[in-house]
Structure 1
Amino acid sequence: MAQRKGCLIGCGVALVLGAGLIVALFFGVGKFLDMADKSMVDPAVYGAVKTGDAESEVRDRLPSGESFVKSALKEGGPAEPEGSTCAWYISSGEPKNGEETVLRFCFKDGRLAEKAQYPMK
């Protein structure tokens, strides 16, 4: 009788842990897809916006860019223009030489001051 009770408890614990693992995996995949939605830009959008365009018009074409990978995208890029606010994204295009491309948009005084692209480090 005691062995049976111990087996049931062990199976119950394993079931709860398994369900928890599945929920965590599902949550992780959801977070990854959410990050991709917020941090990827089509190269056509990058090519279409020009320096001097109104910041509001450019930002309307871009996703929010707020994700946990933002700090990693900053690495390896050119210096940010003085007094500007920049946003970093990953190009949704094909990787070049096996590296993803970072697209950076910098705004100053309500205008697109600079755009840059460079390989992700």
Structure 2
Amino acid sequence: MAQRKGCLIGCGVVLVLGIGAVVALLFGIGKVVDAAGKTMLDPAVYRAVSVGDPEDAVRARMPSGETFMKDALKSGGPAVPEGGACSWYVSSEAAPSGGETVFRFCFKDGKLAEKTEYPLK
């Protein structure tokens, strides 16, 4: 009887741990999908805005861009202009080279001061 009770407890622990692992996996996948949605930008939006456009109008056309992936998008790009506040996005279309393209928008004094496109490294 004691042996059977121990087996049931062991099976219960394995079941709870398995369910916990599945929940953690689904949560992780959800976070990655959410981050991708906040950083993907249609190249048409990049082409449609121009340096000098009001910051509010430009930002209204883009997702927030605030994700844990932001630091990875910054690497390999040109230096941020002094006094500028920048946002980074990944192109929603594949680059001809097969890699990813990063779009960077830098704002200063309420206007788009610079827009840059470079390959993700």
Q: TM-score range by the shorter chain?
A: over 0.9
Separation of aligned partners in 2, 1:78 and 1:96: 21
Identity %: 67
1:79 aligns with 2:71: no
The one-letter code matched in structure 1 to 2:45 is V
TM-score of the aligned structures, taking structure 1 as reference length = 0.96
Correspondence for 1:17: 17
Measure the CA separation in 1 of the matches of 2:119 and 2:113. Answer: 21
In 2, distance between residues paired with 1:5 and 1:97?
A: 61
Q: Which residue of 2 aligns with 1:96?
A: 96
Paired with 1:97 and 1:3, the residues of 2 have a C-alpha distance of: 62
Give the aligned residue type for 1:109: D
Task: Count residues in correspondence.
Answer: 121
Deviations 1:10-57 (A, max 9, x none): 110011001101110110111011101111111110010011100000
Matches within 5 A, 1:8-47: 8-47=8-47
Aligned to 2:58: 58
Tell me the CA shift for residue 96 of structure 1.
Answer: 3.4
Q: Deviations over 1:78-112 (max 9, x none)?
A: 11122111000111111332211110000011110
Q: Normalising by structure 2, what TM-score?
A: 0.96
Name the residue aligned to 1:106.
106
Cα RMSD for the two superposed structures: 0.9
**SS of residue matched to 2:58:** helix
List gaps (5 residues or longer) in structure 1: none
